[in-house]
Structure 1
Amino acid sequence: MIFNTTYNNREYDTESALLVGEKFSFLKRIKLGGIGSGRLMIKTISLKLNTAKQQFSEIQYGNIELRPKGIIVHFTQKLARCSWVIPYYRLVIYNAQFFSIHANGNCIQFTKNKNYLNNKKFINKMIDLKNDALNLSYYDY
């Protein structure tokens, strides 16, 4: 589910709490070592997520926020800030030539550059939280 979060949006607050849970407590944030990624450079956005419907030559950035039952991907479209709420049971991550996040037929591809390398530890933390939330023990090494 995608929301315009440029300004306070009560619908976003209630729906995100229902889908992916409330924000982590302060102590849990410290224990996890942070719940937000650094900024990642966006390569492409699927048409359903692209609210501007036009692609300009400007560089787009996004970041990922962890929640107990899912993630929220924040990105900008022109002057608007959008948030894509994804529960863990719908989250699919591909790590090939590009790092991409897929859910409900939509996707965002991020380039693998210096920003990606800085966020590698965060991405592994996100995958571990997904496996713990869904009890996917067959991914354990």
Structure 2
Amino acid sequence: MILNTTHYNPDHKQIIADLVGDSFSLVQKLKMKGIGSKRMIIDEVSPNMQTMMNRVSDINYANIELRPKGILVMINQGLKNFKWIIPYYQLVIYKVNGSSLHAQGRFIHFRNSKTFKENKKFFDKLLDEKVKYDMQYAMPEFI
């Protein structure tokens, strides 16, 4: 689900909490050594997300925030802000010449640049959180 968060809407907070959980507490954020990525350059997006990209030749940026049950991808388009809410069970990550996030019939590809390389530890943390979430629902192994 993509929300236009340019202007404050009290309903958005509840929608986000229902889908990916409330934000981590301050203590959890400190233990995790941060829950947000640095901004990354968007290289390509799926056709159904083109409306959120700058029409002129400006560079598009996005950053990611971890939540207990998913992630938030914050996209900036000029003066507009969008949040793409992705629960972990829908998230698929590909590492091909940068990184791609796929979910809900959409994708966003981040350019393999200096800003992306600075986020390597963040992506490792993201994969750890996704695996931890998926292990809660793992099928038991029978002998």
TM-score (norm 2): 0.90
Deviation at 1:53, TM superposition (A): 6.9
Question: Which residue is equivalent to 1:91?
Answer: 91
Report the secondary structure of 2:86's partner residue: strand
Residues 64 and 74 of structure 2 are in contact (CA less than 8 Å); yes or no, is this contact kept in structure 1? yes
Find the structure with the greater CA-based Rg: 2
Q: What residue is the counterpart of 1:132 in the other structure?
A: 132
Q: Which residue of 2 aligns with 1:68?
A: 68
Q: Could you tell me which amino acid in structure 2 is paired with residue 79 of structure 1?
A: L
Q: What is the distance in 1 between the residues matched to 2:2 and 2:49?
A: 7
What residue identity is the alignment partner of 2:71?
Answer: I
Unmatched tracts of structure 1, length 5 or more: none
Over 3 Å counting, the alpha-carbon distance change for 1:127 and 1:52 in structure 2 is: closer
Describe the SS at the equivalent of 1:124: helix
Hey, which bits of structure 1, 4+ residues long, moved more than 6 A? Answer: none
Quote how far apart the aligned CAs of 1:51 are. 2.7
CA RMSD of aligned residues (A): 1.6
TM-score relative to the length of structure 1: 0.91
Q: Give the AA of the match of 1:95.
A: K
Cα separation, partners in 2 of 1:14 and 1:50, compared to 1, 3 Å: farther
Cα deviation for residue 98 of structure 1 reads: 2.9
Counterparts of 1:24 and 1:8 in 2: how far apart (Å)?
21
Structure 1 residues 93-108: aligned runs within 5 Å = 93-108=93-108
1:1-141 aligned within 5 A: 1-52=1-52, 55-135=55-135
Report how many aligned residue pairs link the two structures.
137
Q: Distance in 1 between matches of 2:57 and 2:113?
A: 18
Distance of 1:122 and 1:53 partners within structure 2: 24
Unaligned runs of 5+ in 2: 139-143
For structure 1, which segment, 53-62 or 37-46, has the greater mean C-alpha deviation from structure 2 after superposition? 53-62
Which secondary structure does the structure 1 equivalent of 2:50 belong to?
Answer: coil
Whole-angstrom CA distance in 2 between matches of 1:52 and 1:72:
15
Supply the distance in 2 between the matched residues of 1:104 and 1:117 (Cα, whole angstroms): 26
For residues 74 and 46 of structure 1, what CA distance do their matches in structure 2 show? 16
CA distance in 1 between partners of 2:45 and 2:78 (Å): 13
Distance 1:51 1:117 in 2: 27
